[in-house]
Amino acid sequence: MRARAILAALVLVAWPTSAPAAADPEPTALYDALDLKERPADYIVLLDTSGTMSSQQTAVKQQLKGLLKAKGKQDSVTLVRFDRRPYHRSALETDADIDGLPTPVGEYTDIGRALEWVVRYLREHPSRLAAVMLVSDGIQEPAPGSPYGSANGPAWDRLRDQAAGLKPQPLLYTFPFGGADVRRHQDEIVERVFPANAQILDPRQSQATKDLSMVKDDSLRAEARRRVAADLKRGVAATWKQPDVRLDLARGTGSLTLDVRSQTEVLPLELRAVEVEVSDGKERVTGRSALPAPIRIEPGRTVPVPIELSWAEPSAIRVQPVALDLSRTVRVRATVQTPWEGDLGLLGLSYGKQQIGTDAARVTGSYRGAPSWWAAAAAVVLVAALIVLLLWWRRARRRRPPKMTGVLLSAYVKDAEDAWDEHTLGPVHLGGRRSVRTAELAPELDLPGGSVKGTVDVRAAADGITITYAPEGLPGRSDTATCPLGRRVMINGVEFIYRTTSED
């Protein structure tokens, strides 16, 4: 038998109880949702008991004791010894169980049969997913007649196909103690069954203990990634509860319901940036989501999202009949994200953003409004009032005198040193006015108490103007006369001349 010098650890990961303190930050929300910390892990150790393993017995026991320290309180470690085939199974609970292991005396090492036993065990116990470790110091050296005697063959192909069907797919760790040739040979054997999942770890005892403690964290993260992988490509299904809705246009508002169902199994989703699009028409209609964003949707659940529509409500004051007809299409667009994006980032994953758009829902409505009786009555009263006001205005206009035209002058005779002189005052322009009061046309009178100046009031008349002259400015001593255009009148000793502006 050739000397063998490799210690390999093959780990098929399940749902362990806890991650080590030195691990990266945990995606806590994901772990809690998947109950990853509540499920115990079963570590199965496949121990090569061929004779040459006796030289590695001390190192093997140290590694197994490190595994007992790294496991959680609810985890279990099962030891399966093999040489030409697996032949003994026992539980490892204390260091005493490890110290009591017998000295290896076997003649062959059939790693193929050991891996076959593991694959068959995991297929028969799918609910007890476990971490399996292969501990061997040698390369594949089966007994005569083993189906795994050659490097390639139908037995290896069949075993690889069976391993590919395991859920979850295993993570593999090897702790090589031999040289480069032994390590390469051991890697080839592992890759025949699990071609994509092998990791090589440091065989030194101090570092190996740390690596074993990381197995639990790697296992948990691998299971979390597997469980959410399908959800990364899933979104939501949005359907209208009633794709054809009749609206009451008299209210000015209406609603329809969009059912949004999450297609994920693990990840909660959120609707963000919800936009409601309403087709154009004569009457402007707007829409919005009645639920504030973000709208959370739990895995596999359906959330009804009310969509509110609004338009101009018909006026309550109607003098004429009102007819409204409305037909629109409504669509909703939104962005879908997950609130667990941070946890996914800790696993090297991302859900990102998905854009969704709904089919068109159709909303219709009609409204027929008769004139309001009180509005009609008010309109009748208003029209009647306008007619009365117009008649009054026309009558008042007919009764009012026309505006005056021309100019007015005055003339009087005054004794000036034994000679009588004629004096003329004015003119005062009357054009465009209906009444004028002026003192310009009144002569100044010398009275015992002093000189006074009278007033002249001029008003428009149907046949000219009416002149009222108060010599002393007192209404009680005034006289009035009517003067046609182009004529003269004498009032209280003063002659008033009414003529056009064109006269000299």
480 located within any domain: yes
Is residue 238 classed as helix, strand or coil in its secondary structure?
strand
Q: What is the pTM of this model?
A: 0.56
324 located within any domain: yes
Asked if residue 274 and residue 246 are part of one domain, the reply reads: yes
Q: Tally the domains of the chain.
A: 4
Asked if residue 240 and residue 215 are part of one domain, the reply reads: no
Asked if residue 199 and residue 93 are part of one domain, the reply reads: yes
Asked if residue 241 and residue 211 are part of one domain, the reply reads: no
2 located within any domain: no
β-pair partners for 289: 307
Which residues touch 503 (CB under 8 Å, ≥6 apart)?
486
Distances (CA, A) of 329 to 180, 243, 247, 310, 427: 71, 10, 13, 14, 82
Asked if residue 104 and residue 196 are part of one domain, the reply reads: yes
CA–CA distance, 335 with 260 (Å, rounded to integer): 13
Asked if residue 126 and residue 52 are part of one domain, the reply reads: yes
Asked if residue 418 and residue 386 are part of one domain, the reply reads: no
CATH of the domain at 114: 3.40.50.410
Judge if the upstream peptide bond of residue 168 is cis by omega within 30 degrees of 0.
yes
Asked if residue 279 and residue 169 are part of one domain, the reply reads: no
Asked if residue 196 and residue 308 are part of one domain, the reply reads: no
Tens of pLDDT along the chain (504 residues)? 333 333 333 433 333 333 333 446 778 888 888 877 766 777 888 888 988 888 888 888 888 888 888 777 778 888 999 999 999 888 998 999 999 999 898 889 898 999 899 888 888 876 555 677 888 876 788 999 999 988 788 999 999 899 888 876 666 666 655 566 766 776 777 778 877 665 555 555 445 555 555 666 777 787 888 889 999 999 999 999 988 998 888 888 889 999 999 999 999 999 999 999 999 888 889 999 999 989 999 999 999 999 999 988 776 555 566 677 888 999 999 999 999 999 999 999 999 999 999 999 999 988 776 665 555 667 778 888 899 888 887 776 666 667 888 899 999 887 655 556 678 888 888 887 778 888 888 888 777 777 778 889 999 888 889 999 988 766 667 889 999 988 999 998 889 999 987 555
Asked if residue 223 and residue 75 are part of one domain, the reply reads: yes
CA 86, chain centre distance (Å): 60
**Structure-token pair, residue 466:** 């009416």
Asked if residue 75 and residue 62 are part of one domain, the reply reads: yes
Choose one of 368, 388, 416: the last residue of a domain. Answer: 368
Which residues touch 287 (CB under 8 Å, ≥6 apart)?
276, 277, 278, 307, 308, 309, 310, 330
504 located within any domain: no
110 located within any domain: yes
CA–CA distance, 427 with 167 (Å, rounded to integer): 123
CA–CA distance, 31 with 219 (Å, rounded to integer): 12
Asked if residue 327 and residue 240 are part of one domain, the reply reads: yes
Domain that holds residue 240: 236-368
